[in-house]
């Protein structure tokens, strides 16, 4: 097992699993929350666009200075929360040139939006567009402060929605792609592992039965395998997903019912060679029942091989799940990488040029598949050292 610690894939899988378990805690908001403007670019991408910002003013912190080196933000909104209204005090907005706007008196429950007509009229602005372009006409130092002196209990919250947000930007609904990406790991891992476990269970039992019993059992099972391997399965999966509802567990069940064939073939072949081995024959001669022989002798013999085929089967399940989700045949409430790509395609990522919506989920799927392929290769080489050095990874 020491070799396992040297494989990059093992550590990668450990990291991804940790992210799947605890990753959502890295973010303040839930992955479903709409945190910024739709199609915001990642923070590191376009430095001339303003990032999305939240400013807060209060009695103890009455002024903020902003060094503005960007174009105007796309949206401006302001909220005043207080229990002590102060109608003679104002929120004052000073432009770099010295011009000032008095935005609003400090009354409780004030909510201003840059698109609001009355707000724009009160500032003496034309009624078209968002007020933010008038509030941010140039680059320079802006000062936002409260007028008047003395104590005031309350807070002014200003939100400037820019074109950039977070590590990976936002999607068409303004959700944080980094948070969605982390939430998607969970679905891919769950589906990949559980669908393969179930499929392996099915394949092993059917393969053992076919190999050990022979005769009709063998014929029926192996003809079914041939049939399922010779027709396109995606249409069937699509029909079943549409028919059965789109829940995660239904999906796992559907995927496993149609992916046990390879395992069954391998196990059957192994069983066939073992069935006539001397020690199995001796056991039969001693009167051991078939169930005992299968459970205590044949199954343990096949286990190492099974472990390898199982690991190599995970990418298939992950890719199938992603494909079905991409076609829109998954639960829209469950965040998965396939679903993210589906939404990127159906909701205008192309017209927005939002390539940052495509890359994280797609590369995530590929990485996870490579991890399992590499682990499978490792296990396969442990089982059969002749395979060593054959392939990359």
Partner 1 sequence: MSGYWARRTGSALLVLGLVLVLNFVLFRMMPGDPVASIIDPNFSPEAKARLSEVYGLDQSLPVQFLRYVRSTLTFDFGISFLTGRPVMEELKSRLPNTVVLLGTSLVLSSLLGTWLGMKAARKRGSLLEKCVLWSGALSFSFPSFFVQLVLLMAFAAALPLFPLRGTLSVPPPAEGLPLLLDYLWHMALPVFSLVLLGFGGWALYVRNLMVKILGEDFILLARARGLPERNIILGHAFRTLLPPLLTIFLLSLPGIVSGAVITETVFSLHGVGRFLLEAVTGHDYPAAGASFFLLALLTVSCNLLSDLLYGLTDPRVRMERGGGR
Selected binder of partner 1 within 8, 22, 249, 355 (CB under 8 A): 355
**If binding means CB under 8 A, how many residues of this protein chain bind partner 1?**
47
DSSP for 264-300, written as a single string: HHHHHHHHHHHHTSHHHHHHHHTT--HHHHIIIIIHH
Q: Is 81 helix (H, G, I), strand (E, B) or coil?
A: strand
CB 321 within 8 A of CB 338: yes
Least separation in angstroms between residue 317's CB and partner 1 is 12
Rounded Cα distance between 207 and 275, Å, is 13
Look at the block and give the residue holding tokens 């409780």: 108
Instruction: Considering only residues 211 through 270, tell me which ones interact with partner 1, judged by CB under 8 A.
Output: 222, 226-227, 229-236, 238-240, 242-243
φ and ψ at residue 262, rounded to 5 degrees: -60, -45
Least separation in angstroms between residue 269's CB and partner 1 is 11
189 part of the interface to partner 1, by CB under 8 A: no
Nearer to partner 1, 370 or 383 (CB): 370
CB 80 within 8 A of CB 154: yes
Instruction: Annotate each residue in 374-393 with x if it binds partner 1 (CB under 8 A) or - if it does not, as one string.
Output: ----------------xxxx
365 part of the interface to partner 1, by CB under 8 A: yes
Least separation in angstroms between residue 231's CB and partner 1 is 5
Selected binder of partner 1 within 369, 375, 378, 379 (CB under 8 A): 369
User: CB count, 10 Å around CB of 33?
Assistant: 13
46 part of the interface to partner 1, by CB under 8 A: no
> In the sheet where 86-94 sits, what is the strand order?
63-68, 140-146, 86-94, 100-106
Least separation in angstroms between residue 211's CB and partner 1 is 13
Angle, nearest 10°, between helix axes 8-22 and 177-213?
Answer: 120
197 part of the interface to partner 1, by CB under 8 A: no
Nearer to partner 1, 29 or 242 (CB): 242
341 part of the interface to partner 1, by CB under 8 A: yes
Task: With contacts defined by CB under 8 A, name the span among 68-76, 175-183, 197-205, 366-374 that binds partner 1.
Answer: 366-374
Nearer to partner 1, 73 or 338 (CB): 338
Rounded Cα distance between 178 and 355, Å, is 14
Rounded Cα distance between 306 and 27, Å, is 39
CA angle 211, 212, 217 (to 5 degrees): 70
Q: What stretch of H or E contains 141? A: strand 140-146
Nearer to partner 1, 5 or 231 (CB): 231
Which positions touch partner 1 (CB under 8 A)? 222, 226-227, 229-236, 238-240, 242-243, 315, 319, 322-323, 326-329, 338, 341, 344-345, 349-351, 353, 355, 358-359, 361-362, 365-367, 369-370, 373, 390-393
């Amino acid at each position: 097992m020491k070799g396992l610690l040297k494989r990059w894939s093992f550590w990668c899988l450990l990291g991804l699993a940790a992210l799947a378990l605890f990753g959502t805690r890295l973010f303040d908001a839930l992955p479903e929350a709409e945190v910024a403007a739709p199609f915001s670019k990642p923070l590191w991408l376009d430095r001339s666009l303003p990032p999305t910002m939240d400013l807060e003013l209060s009695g103890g912190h009455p002024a903020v200075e902003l060094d503005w080196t960007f174009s105007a933000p796309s949206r401006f909104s302001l909220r005043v929360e207080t229990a002590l209204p102060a109608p003679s005090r104002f929120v004052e907005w000073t432009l770099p040139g010295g011009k000032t706007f008095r935005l609003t008196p400090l009354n409780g429950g004030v909510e201003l939006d840059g698109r609001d007509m009355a707000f724009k009229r009160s500032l003496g602005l034309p009624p078209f567009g968002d007020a933010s372009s008038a509030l941010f006409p140039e680059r320079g130092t802006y000062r936002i402060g409260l007028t008047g002196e003395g104590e005031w209990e309350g807070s002014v919250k200003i939100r400037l929605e820019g074109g950039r947000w977070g590590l990976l930007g936002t999607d068409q609904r303004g959700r944080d792609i980094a948070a969605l990406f982390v939430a998607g790991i969970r679905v891919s891992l769950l589906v990949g592992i559980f669908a393969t476990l179930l499929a392996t269970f099915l394949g092993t039992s059917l393969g053992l039965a076919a190999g050990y019993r022979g005769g009709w059992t063998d014929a029926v099972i192996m003809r079914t395998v041939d049939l399922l391997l010779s027709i396109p399965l995606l249409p069937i999966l699509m029909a079943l997903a549409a028919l059965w509802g789109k829940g995660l567990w239904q999906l796992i069940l559907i995927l496993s019912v149609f992916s046990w064939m390879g395992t069954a073939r391998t196990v059957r072949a192994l069983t066939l060679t073992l069935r006539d081995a001397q020690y199995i024959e001796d056991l039969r001669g001693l009167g051991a029942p078939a169930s005992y022989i299968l459970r205590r002798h044949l199954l343990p013999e096949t286990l190492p091989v099974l472990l390898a085929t199982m690991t190599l089967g995970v990418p298939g399940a992950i890719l199938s799940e992603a494909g079905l989700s991409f076609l829109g045949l998954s639960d829209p409430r469950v965040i998965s990488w396939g679903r993210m790509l589906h939404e990127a395609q159906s909701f205008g990522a192309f017209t927005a040029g939002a390539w940052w919506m495509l890359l994280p989920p797609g590369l995530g799927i590929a990485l996870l598949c490579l991890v399992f392929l590499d682990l499978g290769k490792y296990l396969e080489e442990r089982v059969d050292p002749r395979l060593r050095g054959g392939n990359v990874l």
